Chain A
């Protein structure tokens, strides 16, 4: 086989792969694009068969969602997401420190214990959690969600932060200690700045998980503490058309996460890629 054929083959394979990648990417993106387009339709256009491709965009659905009292839901989601993420970082960073840089005894057991709490499916414990919350009179209370989201994200945060701490070269910490820096000083001036991209990545993951969480929110809240995902399903009905309004609510709900991801993009790429701080 001559070199030219081989090069030609390589080029064609590359071309096919590129086309395939594009097709896959478009296939994955299409539902999102369709959701965004549907949000600007009228209900009968959204439900039509064959689908409506050309239409005059309208903001009616967004108006209906926003004026339908979405403020409480957004406020609840913001509290549940914000407070739980701060709590996770406050608890998770020291825990990760104790599992990497100054390891406690039986590190692997402790790590396994943390991750094992994620192995039980949530549907298996929802009834006990519901009953306990009912007895404690904390159903439909936003702080119940804060506690649950903190617990839900903590194992992931500990594991993520531990992997970032492990990449900090021991020499750097030694140098700090030789220079007379105590634990707090080392943390503040050396360690935290070095793993900042990792903290950003962890925080973003926690924000996304809490913001999107649906199952606890649906089962444990009613009118006072309901979050945005509950708002999305409440636009659905079993009689009558709802697709356009559902899509408008879903689009509004995904904006904050998209925005957060976009802002933290640079940090994220550094944080999520290997060798981030070397």
Chain B
């Protein structure tokens, strides 16, 4: 997603450009082509790492001296941007061979597609040559999602699934019990029972904000578990199948009846604020929520929250799978140095370093099984560690869907068109949550969008 320009427009290529270029050439010659920051490097290889500026990544930047100490010959520089900017920039750079980056942070959405396009390096040879790296230790569902033909093309920095957080204290007070494996129907009933709109207290928080990474993430897991889906195995759009329809109706009805006010515009951040301020009884969202809601500095409900698996219907599990991982673009000219950095940031030792230097609650979760065996981490994470790991292990297509699909991904469809399709369908669903259109209208329109994409894939399969 490119940002719109701020009030300025394009420099056309024109006659005056010649004059500009001539002047610039002189300037370049005079300066010896040095960028302002280029002098700092000294000798050795310089690598540029593009990452998403989430808290755990900021921790990695703050620990860079540890890396420098271990690899004095490598000078590492960071470009850290918010998710949307980072995704746009990294995609543009890797897709066009821009070559600014030696290490990029991508997710399990990009990895299989980019591996197939030959945009990123096969990391398996590096993994096999690195003693003690232990790729078998990665959470299996994540390792699988980042592999193509059995070779890993990116390695996980952290991973997340989705689960249902609930206020254990309020459940006890009300004499209610959270089932060990709640269904959507049970969740809907519990939410209705606990909902107190007069006191600005909602039974549940569910995302409603338009966007493929917002409302469509939890809603897609519901569609999967009801037995529906975006596309069937023969690339037919199935958003209007009876199963998909039931899932969409259940989700929208739950959030409209017992959900937060202003649901149509609330995303992860809004639900987090609401749940952390004690204004909601349940919240179905990313497992990464724990780092914020179990932190007493930013949350009033720390220690009062129980965690149950993602709500299901026809399947055994329903949680999604997402992982921020590190890859090396094929255009990098410093691949060995890049791997030095990638392996530093994703090995077991790094987890220990974060725990000891910064704090065990800040450890990047969901990447390695061994993380969950560290006693210090087990202690700080006892409320949610098992629930997280269980959700992540269950986050496979085999377990969270009723039928096979022709694409990778659980809460997303692993095709390039999905960012656009998911956002447009998300707008329909968001409008239905707001009550601007009926659920039927939203489903019909979404089905048409999905069918357009499906046609191109059917045509390809036919060839």
Contact = CB atoms under 8 A, between A and B. Distances in A.
Interface residues of A, number: 63
Nearest to A137: B99
A44 B19 CA distance: 52
B101 interface: yes
Interface size class of B (residues with CB under 8 A): 35 or more
Interface string B52-90: 111100100000000000000000011111111100010
A130 B33 contact: no
A7 interface: no
A117 B80 CA distance: 33
Nearest to B35: A224
B374 interface: no
A112 interface: no
Contacts of A127: 92, 96
Interface in A149-192: 150-152, 154
Interface of B: 2-6, 8-12, 14, 16-17, 19-21, 23-24, 27-28, 31, 33, 35-38, 40, 48, 50, 52-55, 58, 77-85, 89, 92-93, 96-101, 268-269, 273, 277, 288, 291-292, 297-298
Contacts of A130: 92, 96, 98
Given A116-B12, A122-B10, A240-B54, A75 B37 contact: yes
B99 A134 contact: yes
Given A79-B36, A83-B27, A143-B28, A123 B5 contact: yes
Interface SS of chain B = mixed
A246 to B, nearest CB: 10
Contacts of B20: 87, 91, 147, 150-151, 154
Given A134-B96, A225-B35, A44 B82 contact: no
A134 B97 contact: yes
A60 B58 CA distance: 17
Interface centre among B3, B23, B24, B292 (most CB of A within 10 A): B24
Interface in A231-274: 233-241
Given A121-B10, A215-B6, A218-B89, 10 more contacts: A75-B36, A90-B23, A91-B23, A123-B5, A134-B97, A143-B27, A147-B24, A219-B89, A230-B81, A234-B81
Contacts of A83: 27
Contacts of A223: 37, 48, 77-79, 100
Interface of A: 44, 47, 49, 72, 75-76, 79, 83, 87, 90-91, 95, 113-114, 116-127, 130-131, 134, 139-143, 146-148, 150-152, 154, 209, 212-215, 218-219, 222-226, 230, 233-241
Given A224-B35, A237-B55, A151 B11 contact: yes
A141 B53 CA distance: 23
B55 A154 contact: no
Contacts of A134: 96-99
Contacts of B14: 113, 117
A215 B100 contact: no
B388 to A, nearest CB: 15
B135 to A, nearest CB: 26
Contact of B48 (A213, A222, A241): A222
14 contacts: A44-B298, A49-B273, A72-B37, A76-B36, A121-B9, A122-B5, A126-B2, A143-B31, A146-B27, A154-B11, A222-B48, A224-B36, A230-B81, A238-B269
A120 B291 CA distance: 45
Contact of A238 (B9, B54, B89): B54
A58 to B, nearest CB: 15
A10 to B, nearest CB: 39
Contacts of B78: 223
A235 B54 CA distance: 10
A176 B77 CA distance: 58
A139 B298 contact: no
A219 B313 CA distance: 44
Nearest to A126: B2
